[in-house]
Amino acid sequence: MMLIRYLSQIGRYFLMLKEIFSKQTKWSMMRNLIFKEIDDLIIGSLGIVAFISFFVGGVVSIQTALNLTNPLIPKYLIGFATRQSVILEFAPTFISVIMAGKMGSFITSSIGTMRVTEQIDALEVMGVNSLNYLVFPKIIALLLYPFVIGISMFLGILGGWIAGVYGGFTSSTDFITGAQMQFIPFHITYAFIKTVIFAMLLATIPSFHGYYMKGGALEVGKASTVSFVWTSVSIILFNYILTQLLLGS
């Protein structure tokens, strides 16, 4: 029974995706909705992303330095390890899991509240495609999500440099040499491909849980929790699949 319920939910999710892109809302109204979502989801997330990225980059740098106890191991590996950790995994994946909590809970609770207060029913009565009206602007706004991850990459490496140099673990020259060493441009492409997929998951899975929830105010909180769990699971799963496809060969 559990398997059937999960398959039913997955089927409903894909039907929702189809509905989102049908019967578009007027552009004059949609434009304002998109700008509002950019402000809420993208600009509103920059502060927490910058803070976490800077300090986690510093922690990666310090922990790498503390584990390089052999004097024969060159210090430039601190910069190399920090760059690889931040670009390949920390910025695209770890930040996306955090955003599943921040953005995801916000999206689920806002749409769930509209469901509870019957605002979605009112949109349907007025002949508006409520899924397009509510979810499509979020998808468009999160096309800017790679910009947030780009900032996260920069600040993560900057935090690693500051922690490594001013903590006395390495010199600025060694860190920068390591950060530039054996750089593979495709790693940036790989990170941004993951980011675009994660952005789609961040926009649609929380929206799904908010839109189809039943009950009252208490259930809104429960739906937010469930949406965070499933968004995080989906991000980790797609992270594995994309890494295998793009880097495994």
Per-residue pLDDT of the chain (249 residues; tens, 9 = 90+): 778 888 888 888 888 888 888 877 787 888 888 899 899 888 988 999 999 999 999 998 888 888 877 777 777 788 888 888 899 888 889 999 999 988 888 899 888 888 888 888 887 888 788 888 888 889 999 999 999 999 999 999 999 999 888 888 888 888 888 888 888 888 899 999 999 999 999 999 999 888 888 877 788 888 888 899 999 999 999 999 999 988 875
Distances (CA, A) of 55 to 1, 41, 103, 143: 45, 22, 21, 26
Q: What is the pLDDT of residue 78?
A: 84
Q: What is the pLDDT of residue 54?
A: 92
Task: Report which of 211, 221, 197 is spatially closest to residue 133, judged by C-alpha positions.
Answer: 211
Q: What is the pLDDT of residue 154?
A: 92
The CA-based angle 178-183-185, given to 5 degrees, is 150
31 membership: H or E segment, kind and range: helix 27-37
Distance from C-alpha of 215 to C-alpha of 116, rounded to nearest angstrom: 7
Q: What is the pLDDT of residue 50?
A: 93
Q: What is the pLDDT of residue 214?
A: 83
pTM comes to: 0.88
Distance from C-alpha of 239 to C-alpha of 22, rounded to nearest angstrom: 29
Distance from C-alpha of 236 to C-alpha of 248, rounded to nearest angstrom: 16
Q: What is the pLDDT of residue 218?
A: 80
Q: What is the pLDDT of residue 156?
A: 92
DSSP string, 179-212: HHTT--THHHHHHHHHHHHHHHHHHHHHHHHHHT
